[in-house]
Structure 1
Amino acid sequence: MNKLYTDAATKGNIGLGGIGILIIAEGHQDQTHLPLAEMSNHQAEFEAAIAGFKRLLALGLTGPVTFYSDSKLVIEALDKSYAKHYGDYVTELVTLTKQFPLVLWQWLPDHKNRGAHMLAQQGLHEAEAAAQ
């Protein structure tokens, strides 16, 4: 089963951000970090999850997935297919998950999501450098 870890980092609750995506599949790792424009931390967490599932598809990894996030909002949104104020993000995320035969999701505490966290920090640094 493919494993997808995502995280987001923002400078302030609304500020520049970055996302980190760590995929472990077939004994290999794929690490991606991307800068984000100004947005809230919650928006950035949804952006990270969406980008993670898109990355799986781009890599041709269309088998079962276990998705890990330290965002309770994102995990609860998947549980309920709903999140107040984030409907567009939830719709896109749920649509992406339907492209896989099986998707399990699990909340992780911050300290167990270090790989994706470090990548998100790199994305944030890239966003800050581009803004200067």
Structure 2
Amino acid sequence: MIEVYIDGASAGNPGPSGAGIFIKGQGIHEKHAIPLGVISNHEAEFHALIKALEICLENNYKAVSFRTDSELVNRAVEKEFAKNKQFAPLLDNALLLSKRFELFFMKWIPSRENKVADELARKAIRANKLEE
């Protein structure tokens, strides 16, 4: 099973944002720092999930276990419902993508266990600022 650690971050809310994605397992070790433009922190968390799902699908990974320190994203995926209507389209996109895997799991983890994805998200914020 492939383990996928995701994190979204913003410098300001909204502000320059980034997605950090760390994928490991079965000889795989990938790091992605993806600038997201100016959005809110919660939006960045959802975009990190979507980008990670897309990367996993592109690489034809069949069984994935996602880890996030975002309680909002974890709860939304678990319940297949976003309380805030602003996030509903992002959640719908993520759920559609997640159903394309043979096995998909999402687990909440504390921030201290998500340091690599957090560092990548912060790196992406800095890359965003360079593009301005």
TM-score under structure 2 length normalisation: 0.95
- Structure 1 residue 28: Cα displacement: 2.1
What does residue range 45-56 of structure 1 map to in structure 2 within 5 Å? 45-56=45-56
Q: How many residues align?
A: 130
RMSD: 0.9
**Normalised TM-score (structure 1):** 0.95
Partner of 1:41: 41
Give the secondary structure class of the aligned counterpart of 1:5.
Answer: strand
Amino acid at match of 2:60: G
* Aligned residue identity for 1:100: F
SS of the equivalent of 1:94 reads helix
- Give the 3-state SS of the residue equivalent to 1:43 in structure 2: helix
Structure 1 residue 101: deviation in Å?
A: 1.0
Question: Structure 1 CA distance, aligned partners of 2:26 and 2:101?
Answer: 16
Provide the residue aligned with 2:111 in structure 1.
110
**Distance of 2:16 and 2:125 partners within structure 1:** 7
Identity of aligned residues (%): 33
Partner of 2:19: 19
Does the residue aligned with 1:12 lie in a helix, a strand or coil?
coil
Unaligned runs of 5+ in 1: none
Question: What are structure 2's unaligned runs of at least 5 residues?
Answer: none
How many Å apart are 1:126 and its aligned residue?
0.1
- Give the match for residue 124 of structure 1: 125
Name the stretch that deviates more: 117-126 or 25-34.
25-34
